[in-house]
Structure 1
Amino acid sequence: MSHLIGEFDCKLDAKGRLMVPSGLKKQLPAVDAEGLVINRGFEKHLTIYTKAEWDKITAELAALNQYEKKTRDFIRYFTRGASELSLDASGRVLLPKSLLEYAGVGTEVVLSCQFDKIELWAKDAYEAQLDNEPESFANLAEEVMGSKRGGNDV
């Protein structure tokens, strides 16, 4: 799968259904047959994966040493609330109420594509996070990516 790109402002209907934007659906050609998986993100947001990507992640988790308490705890927290999503005939997915409550999601959301996953944020929380951009994004880029490219500019 190629990396997903884009940022989409969306609204949930009264039943908690999300219409998958056409620009995103084009990037997910197998979504009708394969489905999606949603679970909690590391911050107060939700993360959506293709079923194939979720299967890769759970295979990695299954390979961890489950005799270690921190591993069991991580797996428990990471998979908590994970749910399969399928598109209805109108191209909508019904999002689990418990996950919407966890992420503080109302009716306005932002879908932010991040390589092999889609982050789903409450619009106000997403904007607040972006408002916390470091003073010098260039310094952050150098710290995170500087040694990855042998010092060459991106």
Structure 2
Amino acid sequence: MPYLTGNFECKLDPKSRMMIPAGLKKKLPEIETEGIVINCGFKNNLVIYTKSQWDKRLDELGKLNEFDEDSADFIRYFTSGATELTLDAAGRVLIPKFLLEHAGIKSDVMLTCQLNKVEVWDAEVYKSTYLKMPKDFAALAQKVLGSKAGRGDE
């Protein structure tokens, strides 16, 4: 799967259905036949995976020691909200109410591509938090990338 890039703004309809933007469907043609898996994110957001990416995540989790308390808790928390969704004839998915409540999403949604998954945010929360470059972004880059930063091979 190629890496995903871009942001997409959309709205929930009154029945909590979200139209998958055409530009995103073009990047992920398999979602029309396989559907998607949506889950709680690590922040107040949701995460969309293609079915194949979700299966890779489950394969990773399957390698953990389920008898180790931390591993078992992580597996439990990570998979607890996971819901398989299929697109309807109009290209919409019905997002479960408990997931919308987790993310604080009411109507306006920001979909933001993150390499191999798509984060789903309340649009205002995303815009106020992540569309502003932090003053210490260079320090964060150095911390995360370490010796990789500035080599000129990016």
TM-score range, shorter chain: over 0.9
| Residues in 2 aligned to 1:3 and 1:86: alpha-carbon distance in whole angstroms | 22
* Rounded Cα–Cα distance in structure 1 between residues aligned with 2:49 and 2:113: 10
- SS of 1:139's equivalent in the other structure is helix
| More displaced stretch, 8-17 vs 124-133 | 124-133
Matched residue of 1:44: which SS? coil
Deviation (angstroms), 1:61: 0.4
Mapping of residues 58-69 of structure 1, within 5 Å: 58-69=58-69
CA distance in 1, matches of 2:117, 2:131: 22
1:134: Cα distance to partner?
2.6
| Partner of residue 95, structure 1 | 95
2:9 aligned residue: 9
- Stretches of structure 2 that go unaligned for 5 or more consecutive residues are none
Residue type at the aligned position of 2:57:
I
Determine the C-alpha separation between the residues in 2 that align with 1:130 and 1:50: 24
Extract structure 1 runs of 4+ deviating beyond 6 A.
none
Alpha carbon RMSD of aligned pairs, Å? 1.4
Question: SS of the counterpart of 1:10?
Answer: strand
Aligned to 1:109: 109
- The residue aligned with 1:40 is 40
In 2, Cα distance between equivalents of 1:115 and 1:136: 23
Q: Give the structure-2-normalised TM-score.
A: 0.94
The alpha carbon displacement at 1:148 in A equals 2.8
Identity of aligned residues (%): 52
Q: Deviations over 1:62-107 (max 9, x none)?
A: 1100110011111111111110011000011111111001110010
Aligned residue pairs: how many? 153
Query: Structure 1 length as normaliser, TM-score?
Result: 0.94
Distance 1:115 1:130 in 2: 16
Cross-structure match for 2:151: 152
Q: Distance in 2 between matches of 1:45 and 1:87?
A: 20
- Shift of residue 132 of structure 1? 6.5
Tell me, yes or no, if the aligned pair for 1:134 and 1:140 is still in contact at 8 Å.
Answer: no
Say if 1:110 and 1:131 are closer, same or farther in 2 by CA, change over 3 A: closer
Work out the CA distance in 2 between the residues paired with 1:65 and 1:18: 37
> Distance in 2 between the 1:136 and 1:80 partners?
34
